[in-house]
Amino acid sequence: MNPGQEIRMAADPVPDLTRRHFEEALKSARVSVTAVDLEKFEQFRRKFDPAYAARATGGSGPKIAWPGAPAGGNQPQAQSIFNNASAAGKMEDEDIYS
């Protein structure tokens, strides 16, 4: 290309895509996911997405059954080794290198 020569832009062969184009295409689209598949996905999402579960059920999310926790759902209070003399004494006696 020589200096001073104009660049000619070719006309765009593809017009702008609008909502009308998508609506026209979706008129002939077929459903590819069954109601059973959608329900499986909903169950999966309620189980593994805490934010979705809270919105969908109005609850605070999934309940975790921690090992050793009472069946009523009340979690035992965590004990600090600093407040528990027997645990603190045990830690002092333990030698991690023996």
Q: What is the pTM of this model?
A: 0.33
Cβ neighbors of 16 (< 8 A, separation 6 or more) are none
The domain limits of the chain are 33-61
Q: What percent of the chain has pLDDT over 70?
A: 65
CA distance 68 to 51: 26
**What pLDDT does 83 receive?**
52
- Phi-psi domain of 73 (left: phi exceeds 0; alpha: psi -120 through 50; beta: other): left
pLDDT above 70: residue 15: yes
Q: Mean pLDDT score of the chain, rounded to an integer? A: 75
